[in-house]
Amino acid sequence: MALSTTQRNGAPLPARPRRAAVLLATLLVVALGAAAVWSWSPAPPPPANATTIADAAATGEPRATTGDVTPRESPARSEAAPPRTAVVGRALDSGGGPLAGFRVTLHRTDPGPLQIRSLEIPLERHRRTYPPVSAGIEAQGGFAFESLDAGNYLCYVDGIEWAAETFALAAGEVRELTLQSPLVALTGTVFRRGQVVKDCFVEFDEGKKTRLLYPGETGVMRLFAKPGRYEVIVLRPGSHSSRSRSPCLSRHDLLVPDGVPALQWRFETGGTEIAFAVEGPDGRAIDTYKVDIEGVGVLEEEPIHYMLHGTRSKPAAMEALPAGRWRATVTSDGLRAEPKDFVTGFADDRVVLSFVAQPAASVRLRLRSPSQFLTAPDARHLPALTVDGCEVPCKSAARVPGSRAPAYDYSAVPPGKATLCFQDRIDGDELVPLPFDPIAPVTIDVALGCANEVAVDVVPRAFVELRACDASGMEMSTALLTVWVDGRRARNRDAKTSQRWLGWLPPGIHRVVVDRNGASREHVLRVDRVLVSERYRP
């Protein structure tokens, strides 16, 4: 055990108090040394433009504030702004006037950065491109693209991409461009009953090609064209069906004269606003319902079908129904209203159609066959159900779990004795064959509040696929193919183009006529119970 060598009154001191005393003395020495160094540190010189405290006291001037004293540390040096890299310019029409309202697009053509997705696929397949950027043209024709990267670019006015300017842009360069249109700048607006139309679009027919124009926020459409005569077709998008394009509201001729740099046009389009008021047997508006509008437009003479839905709080309505002859049918769960026929013109005002729905039932039809249909018929291929002179078309195919027999539902059928006639029918000058061999008519008593079902035995017919082709076997879009059964033309059921014929045909020998650019040729078609697929070459 260590003993202390320091004694007080002859008694030895313990070791722990002695160590504390030594530590305290050391700290005192360090503090005194630091104070001496601080006291002898030279003071910083006063700033040249500041008044010292003593001088201010002697002269009576106010003391310098903190903001007047230069800080001891100099401020950090501000970095220089990066050089400006941009593309600016003017867009002009063929006469030198500004293309105000049009747009300019800038596109970087350099390969984009690589995006690695899989090591098994070459990286070139995942090389992304730079997206184009667009800017509006100001009233004086100016446009600008700022904060760009160096690279290769092309710049053009939207609508005349083929007249683009290509250039390489260096870092810190401001490229100035002048884009001038060699065509006539067209600005168009469509009106309906004096108001600008924004819910329609325009098909601009140039002969060899057709362009679709959509209105902007203000309803204005812009494009470029050569001098000449054009057809402008106003189309109305909507819930139509069974068509390859939207129904036509109006057609107009547009003359673009020569020597004119810009032209503004405006057309008044057609379309009748249709509203529906549907009540139940108690005179109150029903909760939900569906409206089918079927007819033929005056301008196209083609069938059109619109489907609308209505509720108690939001009745069904259509803002612009083309001029034509129409039939409106209203259906709801357990209710049916008698259809109404009506005619619309080009400049009609708002029309309200009122319906009173009556209780109705549903009927399910099952087709039992010894063999399966190679191509299952759609609901529209089935005959209508007739009740007291009222025809109810088949609207939907039903799914029956555990059964291979096709099933179809007839909705909103009025109660009474109903008849299904399974015979090939004649519509105009066309034969409309059934998907199966004709059978005797079937009757059923339709009752409210119960399941109404009928099953029939049928023999499927062969499904026929015919195509008119050129010598290499490729389909010709300009060809017309028709099928004749017993001297009557058979309706083309499913094909959307003239060079195809799709549908069912009865067994036998039939005649096929293919017209290619005015040259006709006949073929013999033999049909049995199996699928028929033929390509007719010259």
Q: How far apart are CA 382 and CA 369, in angstroms?
A: 15
pLDDT of residue 446: 95
Q: Which range among 21-35, 74-88, 262-276, 484-498 shows the weakest confidence by mean pLDDT?
A: 21-35
Task: Assign 252 a pLDDT band (cuts: 50, 70, 90).
Answer: very high
Q: What is the CATH number of domain 86-180?
A: 2.60.40.10
Better pLDDT: 151 or 3: 151
Q: How far apart are CA 514 and CA 500, in angstroms?
A: 10
CA-wise closest residue to 442 among 460, 423, 426, 459: 423
Cβ partners under 8 Å of residue 231, min gap 6? 205, 251, 252, 253, 254
Using DSSP's 3-state secondary structure scheme, residue 52 falls into coil
pLDDT of residue 79: 62
Q: Which tens digits make up the pLDDT trace of 181-202? A: 999 999 999 999 889 999 899 9
Q: Which tens digits make up the pLDDT trace of 112-144? A: 776 655 555 555 555 578 999 999 999 999 999
What is the average per-residue pLDDT within 143-171?
96
- Beta bridge partner(s), residue 204: 211, 232
- Mean pLDDT taken over the chain: 84
Q: How far apart are CA 428 and CA 246, in angstroms?
A: 25
Number of C-beta neighbours around residue 201 at 10 A: 18
Q: Which tens digits make up the pLDDT trace of 292-311? A: 999 998 988 788 889 999 99
CA-wise closest residue to 485 among 526, 518, 534: 526
CA-wise closest residue to 274 among 219, 351, 192, 348: 351
Residue pointed to by tokens 């313990």: 14
Look at strands 272-279 and 351-356 and give their pairing.
parallel
pLDDT of residue 28: 60
Q: Which CATH architecture has domain 272-359?
A: Sandwich (2.60)
Q: How far apart are CA 184 and CA 68, in angstroms?
A: 67
Q: Where do the DSSP E strands lie in 174-219?
A: 174-180, 184-192, 195-196, 201-205, 210-213
pLDDT of residue 247: 84
**DSSP character at residue 494:** S
Q: Which CATH architecture has domain 361-457?
A: Sandwich (2.60)
Tell me whether the CATH fold assigned to 86-180 matches the one assigned to 462-536.
yes
pLDDT of residue 300: 82
Q: How far apart are CA 84 and CA 172, in angstroms?
A: 5
What is the average per-residue pLDDT within 363-387?
90
CA-wise closest residue to 412 among 278, 304, 277: 278
CB burial of residue 330 (10 Å; 0-12, 13-18, 19+): buried
For 438-493, the DSSP string reads ----EEEEE-TTS-EEEEEE--BPEEEEEEEB-TTSPBPTTEEEEEEETTEEEP--
CA-wise closest residue to 503 among 386, 373, 411, 385: 373
Q: Where do the DSSP E strands lie in 298-398?
A: 303-311, 317-321, 324-332, 335-336, 340-344, 351-356, 358-359, 361-368, 385-387, 390-392, 396-398
Q: How far apart are CA 307 and CA 396, in angstroms?
A: 14
Task: Assign 240 a pLDDT band (cuts: 50, 70, 90).
Answer: low
- What is the topology classification, in CATH, of domain 184-268? Immunoglobulin-like (2.60.40)
Q: Which helix (H) or strand (E) holds 39?
A: helix 15-39
What is the average per-residue pLDDT within 258-280?
94
pLDDT of residue 243: 58
Q: Where do the DSSP E strands lie in 193-337?
A: 195-196, 201-205, 210-213, 220-225, 228-235, 240-241, 248-256, 262-268, 272-279, 288-297, 303-311, 317-321, 324-332, 335-336
Tokens of 162: 């083929």
Q: How far apart are CA 515 and CA 533, in angstroms?
A: 19
The CATH class that applies to domain 462-536 reads mainly beta
pLDDT of residue 41: 43
Q: How far apart are CA 303 and CA 305, in angstroms?
A: 7
Q: Where do the DSSP E strands lie in 63-147?
A: 86-92, 103-108, 111-114, 127-129, 133-136, 142-145
Better pLDDT: 401 or 352: 352
Tokens of 304: 């059109």
Q: Which tens digits make up the pLDDT trace of 401-445? A: 777 788 999 988 999 999 999 999 998 889 999 999 999 999 999
Domain range annotation of the chain = 86-180, 184-268, 272-359, 361-457, 462-536
pLDDT of residue 55: 43
Asked whether residue 49 carries a pLDDT value surpassing 50, the answer given is no
